[in-house]
Amino acid sequence: MRTSLMVGLLVAVLLGLMGSLYVVREDQTALVLNLGRVVRSDIKPGLHLKWPLVETARVFDRRFQVLETAPERYLTSERKDVSIDFFAVGFISDARAFYRATGGDERLASARLAPIITDSLRNEINARTLTQLVSGDRNEVIAQQLKSINEGAATLGMAITDIRLKQIDLPTDSQVITDVYSRMSAQRKQVASRLRAEGEEQARTIRAQADREQTVLIAEADRDAQKLRGEGDAEAARIYAEAANRDPAFFAFQRSLEAYRASFADGQGVIVLDRNDPFLQYLRNDR
């Protein structure tokens, strides 16, 4: 009987000892609840003791966590609707405040932190144009509001180290898309009209140059042809003169044959002359 009692006491002591020990890793923080009331918080890493049965240890991850939310719609300073997707990087900075605000539920913490971030970013985005958001320094947008965001996150026992804008889109039901497409179409039409005008101008220039070159070539060809004809006529006259000087009778005969050939070329010519006309001297039988 005494042995059984001692074994029971030993088991009870072991169970109590096991229930009074808890471990906090290097990447964790913890707090201790005494009947639901926080009595110790921000407990450092290591092996720690708590009162069994009446105290409960809650351990939380204090590493950096990424908070992602659904894309949020904002209005720019020009009253243009944009959809912005972002994520935040933060960690638990105060375990006591984190537990009191969320009951230790990280999903609830994310749900409460998202409006704080979106409302702070709204103030900055509302003061900027769409061009400044798209082509400007996005880090500047975040830096302006990070302090006020952390003031709100502190009430949840969290600290935000960075916020990144992943994507800036135009909502599909936004009039901005129609305006952008219309402006792009107008710009493309303007470019096309300019290119057509430049092409027509170049075509006119090329045609004018070709016409000018054609006129110059024809004029030069006529000049060369007249020159060659003149040289040919001069050479023919020289040959005829030389032939006439060598044999005047043969030259007269040759000239008469050419005259006959020209007069009766069509085969239908009729010439009425006196029979003793000198034109017919080479056609008479007495020669």
- The tens digit of pLDDT for each residue in 148-182 reads 888 888 888 889 888 887 777 776 655 656 666 77
Average pLDDT over residues 266-282: 65
Spatial contact of 21 and 49, defined as CB atoms under 8 Å apart: yes
Instruction: For 7-47, write each residue's pLDDT tens digit.
Output: 555 555 455 555 677 888 888 888 888 887 888 888 888 88
Q: In what order do the strands lie in the sheet with 55-61?
A: 37-43, 28-34, 55-61
Q: Of the ranges 58-67, 200-209, 210-219, 275-284, which one carries the lowest mean pLDDT score?
A: 275-284
**pLDDT tens, 210-255?**
989 998 899 889 888 898 888 888 887 787 777 767 767 666 667 7
Q: Which two tokens stand for residue 258?
A: 């050419």
End-to-end Cα, the chain, rounded Å: 185
3-state secondary structure (DSSP) of residue 274 = coil
Q: How many CA atoms lie within 13 A of 138 on its CB side?
A: 13
The predicted-structure confidence for 77-132, as pLDDT tens digits, reads as follows 877 778 788 888 888 888 888 888 888 888 888 888 888 888 888 887 887 877 77
Phi/psi for 194 (5° steps) reads -65, -40
Q: How far is it, in rounded angstroms, from Cα 278 to Cα 287?
A: 13
Please report the pLDDT score of residue 206 as a whole number. 92
Cα–Cα distance, 230 to 234 (Å, whole number): 6
pLDDT on residue 10: 58
pLDDT in tens, 47-57: 887 877 777 88
Query: Using CA atoms, how far apart are residues 148 and 210, in angstroms rounded to an integer?
Result: 74
- Higher per-residue pLDDT: 136 or 186: 186
Tokens of 98: 């984190």
Partners of residue 85 on adjacent β-strands? 167
What pLDDT does 273 receive?
Answer: 61
Neighbouring residues of 171: CB distance < 8 A, sequence distance ≥ 6 = 73, 81, 82, 83, 177
Token reading at 181 = 């497409």
What is the per-residue DSSP string for 93-157?
S-HHHHHHHHTT-HHHHHHHHHHHHHHHHHHHHHTS-HHHHHHS-HHHHHHHHHHHHHHHHHTTT
The torsion angles phi and psi of 163, rounded to 5 degrees, stand at: -135, 135
Asked if 98 and 77 count as a contact pair (C-beta separation under 8 A), the reply is no
Q: Which two tokens stand for residue 228?
A: 């060659």
What is the model's pLDDT at position 9?
56
Higher model confidence: residue 286 or residue 119?
Answer: 119
Superfamily of the domain at 65-173: Band 7 domain (3.30.479.30)
Cα–Cα nearest to 33, from 12, 60, 11, 2: 60
pLDDT of residue 7: 55
- C-alpha–C-alpha distance, residues 29 and 22, integer Å: 12
